[in-house]
Every structure is written in C-alpha cells, then in structure tokens.
Amino acid sequence: MGLFDKFENITASLNVIEQQCCAFFNIIIEEILSATEAVINGRRVILAGTNNYLGLPLRKECKEAACRAIEKEGTGTTGSRMANGTYSSHVALEQDISDFYGRSNTIVFTTGYSANLAMLSTLVGPKDIVLLDADCHASIYDGCRLGGVQVYRFRHNDVDDLEKRLKRLRKQDTNILIVLEGLYSMLGDRAPLREIASVKEEYGAYLLVDEAHSLGVLGNRGRGLSEEAGVEDAVDFIVGTFSKSLGSVGGFCTSNHKELEIIRYASRPYVFTASSSPANIAAAKAALEIIRREPQLRERLWENADALYGRLKEMGFRVGPEPSPIIPVRFEEVARAFSAWNRLLDQGVYVNMVLPPATPDGTALLRCSLSAAHTMEQVEKIAGAFSAVRDFE
C-alpha cells in the first residue's frame, strides 16, 4: 500500500466535484474592493460568505493600529508566549478582554482553533468527561482527542438528551464539562443556553461556551449568547476568536476561575506555538473598542440578516431554523447545490458552499453570512440572485 493510497476516496470525491463545479476549487480573491465587495475571476462580486459580521477588517482605526504595531514591534514575535513571545500588547489585550466580559482572567492564543485545542486538551483529561453538542466545531472535537478525555455527545440543542446523559454519567463520580457553541456556524441557530445552564447547575457540571460566531453579534454589549440569555455567571469558560467580528487572527479563553492561569504552563498548543503577531493583536484590540462604543453596528447587522432571511424564506428556500447573520440555504441533492453556487457567482454573488460530511444533517448547503457593512441595496441584490437561481430551477 502506498503512502497516499489512504486518500483514494477523497481524490474520487474531488474529481466528481471538479467535473460538476470546477470553479469551486479555483476561487481566488484577486482584489478586495471594500468590506463587502471583491474581484473574483476578473469580476466584481458581492461577498456574502466571509464571517465579517461587523465590517471591521477595513476600518481605519484597525488598520492604523496594525500599522503602528508593525512600525513599533515588527511583523512577528519569533517565539511562543512562554519564551520571548509575550509583549506588553498581548497582556494589554488580555486585560481588555477580561474587562469586556467582566471576568478576572483571560488567555490569548494564536488562533481560535488553537484556543479550543489548548483548552480542551488541557482543562480535562482521561479521568474526566466531556459532554458536547453533536454539532460542535472540529476544533472542539480535535481538542478532546488530543487530551484523551472521555467524550459523549448529546443531540444538537436537545436539553432533554443532555440531562438524560448527565443523570447516567454522574454515577462515575468525576468532573463533567459541557461544551457547546453560542451561535452555530452552519445553520445559524442558537443554543438553548438558559435551559442548559440550569441543567448544568443542577448536576454540578462545568460549562464551556464557544462564542466564536456570537461575539459582537448577540447581547446588549455584544458579549455573545451568554449575555443575551442572561446566564453569564453560570458559564465557567468562554472561548472566542478574533477572526470573525474582530476582523483579525487569534483566539482567547476568559473565565472567573483563577486557576485558568495554570493552562499557560500545561497546554502544548500554548507553550509550543509562536505568539500572535503585533499587528493582529493591535487590530483585535482596536476592533474590541469599536464593538464597545458602536452598538449600532450590531443593530445594522440584524436589520440585514432579518431582511435576507425573510426574503429567502418567502421564496420557498429551505433556510435555517431562525433568523441569523448566518443563513444557510439547504439542498437535498449535491448537484443542485453545485448548480446554484455557480449561478450565484455568475450573478455576482459569492457565498460558501458546504458539502457532507461537514454539514450537520448530511445535506449540501449554500451558506450566506451577512455583515453590518452590507447596504440594504446589496442585500436586495443577494436576494435577487437567489431568486434568479430559483426561477432557473
């Protein structure tokens, strides 16, 4: 058996995809024109699949902060946080995140992926139990694998199934960590966090919420679903990323457990990864300040999200279970998703195409993600492009 023979099934799938949707693997963002537009294949298109929820990567304050950081501290740290990679800016951002969430301790990681990898491979171990929502992100699953923890899944957003498993597992007399997301990245639905927090308290478990897609999007101050649901005190650990609403690269965990600091010394993804570049840290810091002082960005985002969700639902598309800045359009047949994605691009609209097994229910979906930077005219153009796809079919 050859070294690459194990990839034969993947290769076969890729060949099928290339035959039906050759442009899918050749998408290059040739030029960024604005927070919502770019040039792809030589054509101007509306970007409706970027996770750029608040339109901050091109904000003047964020770009200027990143430039100042490069001038002052250079393009990279050349070391991990445990070696020479902790600058005063890293510590200042950790303090800002703690202040934003009203928590005592925060650790900043190099990416959002490594934040989950670090926390879930270190916080819990082989003698502990993780109960996670079945639709959790790959980084959560990978962190659990790295730590060798016992993993049990409960059905997506099913509080009764969670409680049933808690009843059975608490007999093992060990630590149980419940893990879920605030806003799920494929279907755009919220976790029933108030009910989950109540069950967590009843059974004496710990609770970690990944607010990657809900930071800056949910809550009166943009602190995510934990704030919106009014259960922040019941959430032991909040993990998040800089790569969505903050428009940078990096991740974090914030908590009121003073023992969080021990993770710095015990976590391999923290100890052995080069720290975030000064530009990324500075941009995230500036973006966090904008989120704090401009709640109107969040309001504008939801106006856009409600408008597109309503239009697509009226057209008869099978969308997600609730309005959200993440709006999936689901297809039972992969070939129809390929066709629709190609035709949307021809109409000047770029969205994400997600195929099984990455989708929660095995269907193919076109994933729209809206931004506060989209104008209502652009939202209408996106809806119009979907209308043309529907009429063609």
Q: Which amino acid is at 288?
A: L
Query: Residue 243's beta-bridge partner residues?
Result: none
Catalytic residue among 90, 137, 244, 374: 244
Report the C-alpha gap between 258 and 376 in whole angstroms.
Answer: 45
**Helix, coil or strand: residue 182:** coil
Q: Which of 185, 248, 277, 369 is catalytic?
A: 185
Give me Rg for the CA atoms of the chain.
21
Please report where in the chains the tokens 């951002």 appear, as a residue: 93
Q: Amino acid identity, residue 206?
A: Y
Task: Compute CA distances 202 → 17, 236, 336, whole Å.
Answer: 48, 15, 46
Residues 6+ apart with CB under 8 A from 222: 215, 216, 245, 291, 292, 295, 298
Whether the bond into 357 is cis, omega within 30 of 0: yes
3-state helix, strand, coil in the chain (%, to 5): 45, 20, 35
Q: Which residues pair with 329 in a beta bridge?
A: 366
> Known catalytic residue: 213?
yes
Q: In which residue are the tokens 């969700």 written?
A: 309
Instruction: Round to whole Å and give the CA distance between 206 and 107.
Output: 18
Look up 185 and say whether it is catalytic. yes
Return the sign of the alpha-carbon dihedral for residues 189, 191, 193, 199. positive
Identify whether 313 is a catalytic site residue: no
Return d(Cα 109, Cα 113) in angstroms, integer: 9
d(CA 281, CA 90): 7
For tokens 């002052």, the residue is 72
- Can you spell out the DSSP letters for 240-288? EESSSTT-SS-EEEEES-GGGGGHHHH-HHHHTSBPPPHHHHHHHHHHH
Q: What token pair was written down for 214?
A: 């809900």
- Find out whether 159 and 300 touch, Cβ atoms under 8 Å: no
Distance CA 367, CA 250 (A): 23
Catalytic residue annotation: 185, 213, 244
